[in-house]
């Protein structure tokens, strides 16, 4: 059975995440302790104890989610000794793509974590300088939603599945687009509790800052193919990785295409490493025939032992 490892993005955080891994996995504990040392702050304490408002801040939530995802992956390797030859590809949703870079050997954990912290800082600043919002639209096809976007001035930010997409842009324009989408037949339009208009042109300043942040970092060729957010196809060179990161801040996340590509390449089991089951749920909406499992604590990792192929 061929696996793909997938890693979640911002919004999957919750107070208490990772605490079970810290207590029961020595490999995971090392990840949390190393992260605190790298960042020079007790990020693990914020994850375990809150407060929630601080954890939700983009500057904190992005590195926190990455750390928990890496800790889950390390605990999985420690407990199950998973053979990397079974892993056909890795992918991450938005922020999760940076976690995939670490797992595939493109960036060291320390460089990846520092880059994610800077990405979070840049996105938070861009959100203050260019305020905006996002909304999930359910039950409307892509073509119809594109018409809504063009009529209201918002942008498609995520194509998560055939019937779940996200729009991004100026707050008033997003509100108008939500109303228009409902009028055009959308089942639901839900305002997202995020600090800015991610994956839209309002993040252009952050993209410029990110280009400066990657200079001097040691990028390596992926040891496991990475399926890109923006392209929906494999990223195999250092230059392509960097372009993917820059493009990803201001353009639509093509998660549906990424999953379909991996399924078409032979992946039949997706393993999500992180604090929630967001991606596993989306994957099942995209293709009901594949298996999607979330590993978020030691119990879920142990439960997979019996189904390991």
Report which of 250, 275, 216 is spatially closest to residue 96, judged by C-alpha positions. 275
Q: Which of 25, 61, 94, 296 is catalytic?
A: 94
Determine the pLDDT at residue 309: 41
Report which of 261, 220, 5, 216 is spatially closest to residue 107, judged by C-alpha positions. 220
The C-alpha atoms of residue 20 and residue 64 are separated, in whole angstroms, by 15
Q: Is 60 exceeded by the pLDDT of residue 54? A: yes
Q: Which of 44, 199, 207, 258 is catalytic?
A: 199
**170-199 confidence digits (pLDDT tens):** 999 999 999 999 999 999 999 998 889 999
Q: Is 60 exceeded by the pLDDT of residue 84? A: no
Determine the pLDDT at residue 304: 76
Determine the pLDDT at residue 85: 60
Determine the pLDDT at residue 307: 44
Asked if 4 and 271 count as a contact pair (C-beta separation under 8 A), the reply is: yes
Asked if 279 and 65 count as a contact pair (C-beta separation under 8 A), the reply is: no
Determine the pLDDT at residue 216: 84
**What's the pTM value of the predicted model, to 2 decimals?**
0.94
**271-303 confidence digits (pLDDT tens):** 999 998 999 999 999 999 999 999 999 899 888
**37-51 confidence digits (pLDDT tens):** 999 999 999 999 999
Determine the pLDDT at residue 83: 56
Determine the pLDDT at residue 308: 45
SS3 annotation, the chain: CCEEEEECCCCCCCCCCCHHHHHHCHHHHHHHHHHHHHHCCCHHHHHHHCCHHHHHCHHHHHHHHHHHHHHHHHHHHHHHCCCHHHEEEEEECCCHHHHHHHHCCCCCHHHHHHHHHHHHHHHHHHHHHCCCEEEEEECCCHHHHHHHHHHHCCEEEEEEECCEEEEEECHHHHHHHHHHHHHCCCCEEEECCCCCCCCCHHHHHHHHHHHHHHCCCCCCCCCCCEECCCCCCEECCHHHHHHHHHHHHHCCECHHHHHHHHHHCCCCEEEEECCCCHHHHHHHHHCCCCEEEEECCHHHHHHCHHHCC
Query: Of 63-72, 73-82, 117-126, 274-283, which range is least confident?
Result: 73-82
Residue 118 pLDDT class (50, 70, 90 cuts): very high
Q: Is 60 exceeded by the pLDDT of residue 57? A: yes
Residue matched to tokens 């995020």: 194
Tokens of 112: 């990846």
Determine the pLDDT at residue 80: 77
Whether 94 is catalytic is yes
Whether 199 is catalytic is yes
Determine the pLDDT at residue 306: 52
The C-alpha atoms of residue 11 and residue 237 are separated, in whole angstroms, by 29
- Share the mean pLDDT of the chain: 94
Q: Which domains does the chain have, with CATH numbers?
A: 3-129+200-307 (3.40.366.10), 133-191 (3.30.70.250)
Mean per-residue pLDDT, 41-64 = 94
């Amino acid at each position: 059975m061929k696996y793909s490892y997938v890693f979640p993005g911002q919004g999957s955080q919750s107070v208490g995440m990772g605490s079970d891994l810290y207590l029961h996995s020595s490999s995971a504990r090392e990840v949390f302790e190393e992260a605190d040392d790298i960042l020079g702050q007790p990020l693990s304490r914020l994850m375990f104890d809150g407060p929630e408002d601080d954890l939700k801040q983009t500057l904190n939530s992005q590195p926190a989610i990455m750390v928990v995802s890496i800790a889950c992956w390390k605990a999985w390797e420690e407990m199950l000794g998973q053979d990397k030859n079974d892993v056909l590809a890795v992918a991450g949703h938005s922020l999760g793509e940076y976690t995939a870079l670490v797992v595939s050997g493109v960036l060291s954990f320390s460089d990846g974590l520092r880059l994610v912290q800077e990405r979070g800082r840049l996105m938070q600043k861009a959100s203050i300088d260019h305020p905006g919002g996002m909304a999930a639209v359910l039950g409307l096809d892509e073509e119809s939603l594109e018409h809504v976007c063009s009529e209201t001035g918002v942008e498609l930010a995520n194509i998560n599945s055939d019937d779940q997409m996200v729009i991004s842009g100026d707050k008033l324009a997003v509100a108008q687009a939500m109303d228009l989408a409902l009028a055009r037949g959308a089942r639901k339009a839900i305002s997202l509790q995020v600090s800015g208009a991610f994956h839209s042109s309002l993040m252009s300043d952050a993209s410029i800052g990110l280009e400066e942040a990657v200079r001097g970092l040691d990028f390596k060729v992926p040891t496991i193919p990475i399926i890109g957010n923006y392209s929906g196809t494999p990223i195999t060179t250092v230059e392509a990785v960097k372009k993917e990161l820059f493009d990803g801040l201001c353009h639509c996340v093509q998660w549906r295409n990424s999953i379909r590509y991996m399924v078409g390449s032979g992946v039949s089991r997706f393993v999500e490493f992180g604090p929630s089951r967001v991606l596993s749920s989306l994957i099942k909406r995209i293709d009901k025939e594949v298996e999607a499992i979330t590993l978020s604590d030691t119990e879920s990792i142990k439960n997979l032992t019996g189904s390991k192929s």
